[in-house]
Amino acid sequence: MENLESRGLSPATCRRLLGASADDLSDAQVEQLRAQLYALAGCVVDAAVQDSTDKCEATVLRLVPENERDAVEERAGMLQFDAGMTRSAATRAALAVYVGSVKGKGRGAGVS
């Protein structure tokens, strides 16, 4: 188990916050509960960050003209599966290619 002494709540603070429910817990049990709660908090933060990223990408995709959006999403799918990228990274890369093509060739260039 990772040593959490250098960050976060001390075991004594955890015991105080738990109140009477911690009276029957050993120090090792309080430490285990503390580690589990930090792990859970990390998962919640990671999920929130991912959800925020997904919403941003969805918003940007909606700004791509409908007739060009399928090509961008198809490119993202190919990057995800063929290149082994995460969906988020693949979407960002496909959007970058699209923006580059529009910027380099004019508004109606599309993605090939």
pLDDT digits (tens, 9 = 90+) for 14-72: 999 999 988 999 999 998 888 888 887 887 777 777 767 777 778 888 888 888 999 99
pLDDT digits (tens, 9 = 90+) for 74-96: 999 999 999 999 888 898 899 88
Q: Where are the beta strands (DSSP E) in 1-93?
A: none
pLDDT for 75 equals 93
The whole-model pTM stands at 0.49
54 vs 96: CA distance, rounded Å: 16
Report the chain's terminal Cα–Cα distance, integer Å.
Answer: 50
